[in-house]
Chain A
Amino acid sequence: MRSSRSLSGVKLGTYYVVHMPEPDDFDFWRERARGLIQCDVPPDRIAWVEPGGSGDLFAHGKRRMPVPPKDAPPVRANRRFVSLARNAALHSDPERFALLYRLLWRLQANPRIMEDKADLDVRKLEELDKSVRRDSHKMHAFVRFRLVEDADENGEGAEHYVAWFEPDHHILRANAGFFMRRFSNMRWSILTPRGSLHWDGETMAEGPPADRSDAPSGDPTEDLWRSYYASIFNPARLKIGAMLKEMPKKYWKNMPEAALIPELVAGAQKRESAMVEKGTLEFEERPETLAAIDKAIHACRKCPIGQLDNHAVMGEGPQDAALMIVGEQPGDQEDQQGRPFVGPAGQLLDAHLEKVGIDRRAAYVTNTVKHFKYVQRGKRRIHQSPGAKEIDTCRWWIESERAIVQPKLILAMGASAARGMLGKTVSITKVRGEPIALEDGSELWVTAHPSYLLRLDGPAREEQARLFDADLAAVKERLEELAG
């Protein structure tokens, strides 16, 4: 084993500093790493310093490399490691060369380490490789040349294609070949903040880092390209997420067509909302009294819940209540009695309200969804949570109630109620305990639904009951502030 071999002149405690001539010089790293491994220098005894890096920190370190003994065994590295390492060396992570050395060091003892996908170093290497490959691929895709007419070395006017690109990693030189093979009979330059490339049709020249202002600012052909981009887009199928995943916003500023995206999206959404208004949701005018809402919800069949054998349950409480308490939907008991929160969850709610000193009779108590959604199991009707679309359909009614009661504070209990107020699904644990401003000037507080407490027992129930009480107490305090 390695540890038993003589240390060939390397003193314990010696520190080596390797100054990389270029940030992407894998071959230099490989040559240095090979020598250091053969001299048995452990990873924590080496500092790899990039050009412009702070070598001063390691001023006490040796710059002269140790000389490997004549009988040193060859350094082992498998093909998988080398191909990943070659890419990972281009990453902008300053720790990359140390990681590569550490893995090479470990490879000597365990040649199969690259197969262990759960090893942290292996995973990190694969991660670096992946992001460099992605960066290169995006460079092939998103570089945009602009044409400038300038004079070549013979003083004749010639076409010159110039691009400005901002890669995340040190990939410019590694990708020179791709652009050379593709545009071999074209004069082109790619300028980046990390350096530049110039191809004159015969030779490749490297230049210093460039600035955006060094690149041309436009090209008449971009108008054609933009009009192509807008025409090939199908507004009937908007998938912004899919676009952003492959073309993140950071690339947009250097792509002429990207300036159109907000306009195209807005146009498609306008078309969408016009369709929705005309088609799926045909509500009449908003009812102006609570009695009118009560009557209307009994006739509502706009979602499948309304088709079940059940009765709508209207909210109850003073029309000028400062506090509105919103639950999910009526349960079995509520459906039979026609009043909100009278079943087991209602009784639990009452107990907690009483404990913190909120008078339920002074609050307007209602539900996000007006009908009881259930499945029949024998004689029992088993509660089913409403779907997002059903909640969104039923928002019309809770919004009508809000418009009439105009509470100062709304307490939404459970995820369905929160969605009914916000129009999107939120995590209770993330939003509870803090006020959320609503558009009409009122304040929304979110807490768990009391039926959630009913499903727990033991310490979990105690803990949740404590959180529930804390939320109610905060609401009470805030109500007093608002009244004051």
Chain B
Amino acid sequence: MASQTILQKLEILADAAKYDASCASSGTAKKNSLGGKGIGSTEGMGICHAYAPDGRCISLLKILLTNHCVFDCHYCVNRKSSNVARARFTPQEVVDLTLAFYRRNYIEGLFLSSGIVKSSNHTMEQIVEVARILREEHDFRGYIHLKTIPEADAEIVHQAGLYADRVSINVELPTDSGLTRLAPDKDARQIEGAMGKVKADLVEAKDARKRFRHAPRFAPAGQSTQMIVGADAASDADIVGKASRLYDNFRLRRVYYSAFSPIPDASAVLPLKRPPLIREHRLYQSDWLMRFYGYKPTEVMQATEADGNLPLDIDPKLAWALKFREQFPLDVNRASREQLLRVPGLGVKAVNKIIASRRHRNLRLDDVALLTQSITKVRPFICTVDWRPITLTDRADLRSLLAPKTEQLELFAA
């Protein structure tokens, strides 16, 4: 083991980290390295420094400190009983890598997670140590996202929040029963307790900064979490409900969904079939509906089918609109912003443009076409000065007319 080079360790520990979906580097406090001793800046907008052929953005150096783990969570590639190559970085090695990459403008910062070695506290201390060296010894002012371990002492987790821009704790599975079955070493109450503690710290730090300008910041980019989809029997309705409770209770910035993917050396407790990737996509879309389009969780659940899952062939917004056809068509020249946001095919930007333009003229269908991505999708649900869909919303086959024609091949379905 001692003979592993940095390069070999990086391969193992980056590969092990790729199952974490988050790579965001946006939404943190503005800072830069002017007047400091080191390097680094965050200016609000996240930057994707590269894109992998899987279409995902590479913004942070996303690695594990180690993939050794004393836990045996069945869905996880790094579980104790899994037969994968193991490696371990020292905190200093992670620091050196982060700085070397940052100086060459490869990354916005570091996303550090870890398997549990020795104890939860020991592991958490090691993670915090990396952030401490970066911030204190190198005056690093780039982005740091630390995964915190719910079983660790609150004091160490608090320390992580003082160094990091964002902290996250994975709730792992949408239902408590799933967690008990698939992650026997984890405890739902403990996870939510830790998230509650982080929320309290966030609120307190924000409050303190209102009164004292130099009060320490605590995770200015907030906290996020990740749920694994398709490893247990939870339906989309369950998942949406869980996500909205998390948003409400813990003031999360984001909930990430990760389609359970067949991992090397999978455990026998797991379903053999992976969920279709499109399911993950539909969940993100429903997440967007709740966060930016003013849908209540119960409304998103109304869009699910009899089995509690969102339809895979059409997006949840269209599914909702097809179920509540009596609300359409809407007159784009009169309807409120809230109403327009419910029109399938109209995004937030398009709605803003429509509202700005209709102050100057009565919109015709051609005008709307200029402001939207695809008028065909929008047309059955709106009225303009020169357009009124007479029969379309009553047609039984509207769904098949609007559903995308080409079926995406499900690769690696096994």
- On A, residues with C-beta under 8 Å from B are 112, 115-118, 137, 140-147, 161, 163, 178, 180-186, 219, 221-225, 227-243, 246-247, 255, 257, 261, 264-265, 268, 271-272, 275-276, 279-280, 387-389
Contact = CB atoms under 8 A, between A and B. Distances in A.
B7 interface: yes
Given A117-B371, A161-B104, A225-B104, A239 B261 contact: no
B10 A115 contact: no
A184 B371 contact: no
Contacts of B212: none
Nearest to A236: B412
Contact of A228 (B61, B262, B357, B414): B61
Contacts of B233: none
29 contacts: A118-B370, A143-B105, A180-B34, A181-B32, A181-B41, A183-B103, A184-B35, A185-B38, A222-B104, A224-B7, A224-B100, A227-B14, A228-B61, A228-B101, A229-B50, A230-B11, A231-B15, A232-B14, A232-B62, A234-B56, A239-B55, A242-B51, A243-B51, A243-B53, A246-B51, A246-B57, A261-B53, A387-B405, A389-B407
B83 to A, nearest CB: 19
Nearest to B8: A227
A184 B32 contact: yes
A478 to B, nearest CB: 32
B18 interface: yes
Given A145-B104, A224-B6, A275-B412, A182 B39 contact: yes
Q: At the interface, is chain A mostly helix, strand, loop or mixed?
A: helix
B49 interface: yes
A71 B35 CA distance: 47
A227 B52 CA distance: 12
Interface string B200-214: 000000000000000
Interface in B20-69: 32-41, 43, 45, 47-58, 61-62
B7 A137 contact: no
Interface in B356-378: 356-357, 359-360, 367, 370-371
* A233, A235, A271 — most chain B CB neighbours (10 Å): A233
Nearest to A264: B53
Contacts of B101: 221, 224-225, 228
Interface in B101-118: 101, 103-106
B73 to A, nearest CB: 19
Contacts of B371: 117
B391 interface: no
A215 to B, nearest CB: 13
A253 to B, nearest CB: 14
B77 to A, nearest CB: 12
Contacts of B39: 182-186
Contacts of B234: none
Contacts of B357: 115, 117-118
B413 interface: yes
Given A142-B49, A236-B261, A261-B53, A219 B409 contact: no
Contacts of A141: 47-50
B380 to A, nearest CB: 21
Contacts of A221: 100-101, 104
B4 interface: no
B335 interface: no
Contacts of A235: 54
Contact of A247 (B17, B50, B105, B367): B50
Contacts of B413: 279-280
Contacts of B52: 229, 232-234, 243, 264
Nearest to B13: A231
Contacts of A275: 411-412, 414
A247 B7 contact: no
A121 to B, nearest CB: 16
A280 B410 CA distance: 10
B406 A388 contact: yes
Contacts of B40: 182
From A118, A147, A272, A387, residue with most partner B Cβ within 10 Å? A118
A243 B411 CA distance: 19
A370 B279 CA distance: 33
B414 A231 contact: no
Contacts of B407: 387-389
A112 B106 CA distance: 43
A184 B43 contact: no
Contact of B103 (A186, A228, A276): A186
B53 A239 contact: yes
B54 A237 contact: yes
Contact of B34 (A184, A246, A268): A184
B51 A231 contact: no
A143 B405 CA distance: 40
